[in-house]
Structure 1
Amino acid sequence: MNAGSASTASPLHIFMSADWLVQSIIILLILASIASWSLIINRSWTILRERRHVRNARRALTSVGTRDELDQLIEQERGQIVPILSAIGAEWRWSSENPQHDYDQARERILSIAEMAVTREGRRLSGRTAWLATIGSTAPFIGLFGTVWGIMRSFLAIGLSQDTSLAVVAPGIAEALLATAIGLFCAIPAVIGYNRLQQGIAEVDAEWRSTAGLLEVAISRHFSGRGRR
């Protein structure tokens, strides 16, 4: 194949020669691919950073035994683990200052507060990752629509020219296959990225719960030292 033929067969040339609808579909898929990669990179970095923060907080919690020590830890730490610790700490302070220091009731409240805080921060950590699932599931069908349109153009060209030669059929088939390829190029990373991010979010969620459990142990020691009433 000479240089001129290679240039004619290039994806850019196929795109420029394609029907406006196929061009629109390809542009839409490319934009969706850019958006999915932006989400994957942004959320991956956020998850890695949060895992580092929560591990630091969990190590520091081993030496926490009072509310003041917890307040100091909260001021020093960073990340989404801080709102979780703050919510539990606020309930700890309220339960300690309440005239009725029934730890069983306080523990139920603390566990409820921890669950709500973890759920809230989990939604924040997820961000817009659900869009990856949407892109991954719809991009192949959008590309398929461009494929069907390109093939339909090929048949129309055959009907108009009464010629079944490759020169008549090839342009429509080429743009049809290009739309299919772009759809898969968009969908595959989105699906893989979504699954990996969901796994990372689940791991962070487990570490949040483990850290909240360590704080609940510290609170139980605090109440045990004062005696249950």
Structure 2
Amino acid sequence: MEAEVIGLANEVDFSITALFWRATITVKLVMLMLIAASIWGWAIIIQKFINYRIARREAAEFDRAFWSGEPLDELYETIGSDPKGSARRIFAAGMSEWRRSHKEDGQLIAGATARIDRSMDVAIAKEDGKLTYGLGFLATVGATAPFIGLFGTVWGIKHAFEEIAIAQNTNLAVVAPGIAEALVATALGLLAAIPAVIFYNKLSADADRITSGYEAFADEFSTILSRQLDA
């Protein structure tokens, strides 16, 4: 009897592909959903690493230009009012408001410093939104994928027990395939969730550091303009 059970178990294909095709429609949909979420999550992760590297390089290049001693008006004319690069756009927002705050006779309109600060704050908020766009999806996958996979497992086990009841056979060769199919859903849920949580924390910290750099630059730039106003 034992040899017969082992022989039946050996005839069953336990590859991931075979387990998927033997699963019920509900479990297949759960698996496909988790696979799609995992692929989408990795696409976001890779894109964010590329974007953050570009943002850091662009900020470093602009920082060197800003502190090179070149007059701010000339630097603004060089990069234009709508430049490429987050740091440049923040600088352009401040300089644009600085120029708009001058009257025709050269005098400054009251409240120029506050308006310049607000303009740069708005520009920083927009850049921060671009940096963090997509991270919410990673957080959602990290929080929900294990439960979605668990749902698929529970449904698959329910179906497996129904088949056992119909066959009226509790041999391992009958029980194992259904349980294996169900557990694949949980494995896929964890496979999607673990990288999503790890890289969400990593990328969120990186985005915060980049945004902090923008805020520090805006404070330094505002200080320089304030000194010019006082002079």
TM-score (norm 2): 0.87
Deviates more, 1:145-154 or 1:4-13: 4-13
1:188: which partner in 2? 194
1:164: which partner in 2? 170
Partner-residue secondary structure (3-state), 1:163: coil
Alignment partner for residue 138 of structure 1, among 113, 136, 144?
A: 144
Structure 1 residue identity aligned to 2:88? V
Deviates more, 1:74-83 or 1:150-159: 74-83
1:51: which partner in 2? 56
Alignment of 1:201-220 (within 5 A): 201-220=207-226
Q: Deviations over 1:159-196 (max 9, x none)?
A: 11222111221121001111110110011111112111
CA distance in 1, matches of 2:174, 2:131: 52
Post-superposition offset of 1:157: 1.6
Query: Is the counterpart of residue 106 in structure 1 residue 137 in structure 2?
Result: no
Alignment partner for residue 30 of structure 2, among 21, 25, 30?
A: 25
Residues 5 and 168 from structure 1, CA distance in 2 versus in 1: closer, same or farther, beyond 3 angstroms?
closer
Structure 2 residue identity aligned to 1:57? F
Partner-residue secondary structure (3-state), 1:96: coil
Deviates more, 1:21-30 or 1:179-188: 21-30
CA distance in 1, matches of 2:170, 2:58: 65
TM-score (norm 1): 0.87
Post-superposition offset of 1:125: 2.0
| Conserved 8 A contact 1:7-1:13 | no
Partner-residue secondary structure (3-state), 1:9: coil
RMSD over aligned CA atoms reads: 2.5
Deviates more, 1:12-21 or 1:45-54: 12-21
| Conserved 8 A contact 1:22-1:149 | yes
Q: Deviations over 1:62-100 (max 9, x none)?
A: 224432333325589741222211111111112234665
2:3: which partner in 1? none
Runs of 4+ in 1 over 6 A off after TM superposition: none
1:92: which partner in 2? 98
Partner-residue secondary structure (3-state), 1:195: helix
Structure 1 residue identity aligned to 2:160? S
| Conserved 8 A contact 1:136-1:187 | yes
Q: Deviations over 1:101-155 (max 9, x none)?
A: 377x222111111111101111122222211111111111110111001110121
Query: Is the counterpart of residue 176 in structure 1 residue 166 in structure 2?
Result: no
CA distance in 2, matches of 1:76, 1:86: 7
Structure 1 residue identity aligned to 2:37? A
- Unpaired runs of at least 5, structure 2: 1-5
Structure 1 residue identity aligned to 2:170? T
- Unpaired runs of at least 5, structure 1: none
| Conserved 8 A contact 1:53-1:77 | no
| Conserved 8 A contact 2:138-2:197 | yes
Alignment partner for residue 70 of structure 1, among 59, 70, 76?
A: 76
1:12: which partner in 2? 17
Alignment partner for residue 149 of structure 1, among 155, 159, 181?
A: 155
| Conserved 8 A contact 1:39-1:128 | yes
Structure 1 residue identity aligned to 2:47? N
